[in-house]
Amino acid sequence: MKLLTALLLFVSLLAFADDANYAAARAAMVEELWLYAQFVDDPDETRISDAVMASMNTVQRHELVPSSERRYSYENRPLPIGYGQTISQPYIVALMTKLIDVDADDMVLEVGTGSGYQAAILAELVDHVYSIEIIAALAIRAKQDLERLGYKNITTKLGDGYYGWEEHAPFDAIVVTAAASHVPPPLIEQLKPGGRMVIPVGERFMTQTLLLLEKTEKGEVITRQFGAVRFVPLTGEH
């Protein structure tokens, strides 16, 4: 019995040490993101807020990636999560979250749950997040992971995100993480006037720009694209 107790204690200590290590790695990652945030072109638009950074420092990314990738969890890079999908680069997630500029009482829709990481980041900031995934295995895994991590303000479902989530519409903000040839018209309809939608544009592992779509109070749609990089002017000297 003593031996068993000692073993349990040892295992718990290991787990605790593990958690502490991940927490330290997470804090280091957030420090790195702070540094990057200083370099962006337009500080007002893309400087990541304290609230978003706090959320990045809270969500346990290592709990949402496959075990084979766990050791890279807090590196600022995208990781494969199986099924040809990726968990986005933390810097991109932080920037997307910043761009939709959510308030605590906002209703947010996410199209493409993936690992559940973006939903978890948003859930730290708003009342409720609705998230839709079209890949069955990912939808099931993300639902289980998010429940295990105690997120009660995220509702997920398996299905077609093209038509949004009619019964919970309209939304203050929409995040589309799935690649598409066009922005689905029903999603634009389900965005409140004054609402914001953000879409990463690019290949897997290689997000190039973020598309921010804003619906004016009059219902007009205007988009802006943000290169996530601070690029030396294109025709500048090499």
Give residues in contact with another protein (CB under 8 A).
32, 36, 39-42, 76-78, 80, 82-85, 89, 91-92, 95, 134-136, 158-160, 162, 179, 181-186, 188, 201-209, 211, 213, 221-232, 234-238
How far, CA to CA in Å, does 186 sit from each of 125, 183, 190, 191? 25, 9, 6, 9
Distance CA 37, CA 40 (A): 6
Axis-axis angle for helices 90-100, 50-58 (nearest 10): 140
Measured from the CB atom, is 10 or 205 closer to another protein?
205
Measured from the CB atom, is 80 or 170 closer to another protein?
80
Measured from the CB atom, is 69 or 127 closer to another protein?
69
Beta carbon of residue 49, minimum distance to another protein (angstroms, whole number)? 18
Q: Are 193 and 217 in contact (CB under 8 A)?
A: yes
* Closest-CA residue to 106 (of 37, 197, 238, 223): 197
Instruction: State the catalytic residues.
Output: 88
Beta carbon of residue 2, minimum distance to another protein (angstroms, whole number)? 44
Q: Are 196 and 214 in contact (CB under 8 A)?
A: yes
Measured from the CB atom, is 107 or 135 closer to another protein?
135
* Closest-CA residue to 88 (of 132, 121, 58): 121
Beta carbon of residue 11, minimum distance to another protein (angstroms, whole number)? 31
Buried/exposed code over 207-224 (b: 16+ C-beta within 10 A; e: otherwise): beebbbbbbeeeeeeeee
Beta carbon of residue 25, minimum distance to another protein (angstroms, whole number)? 15
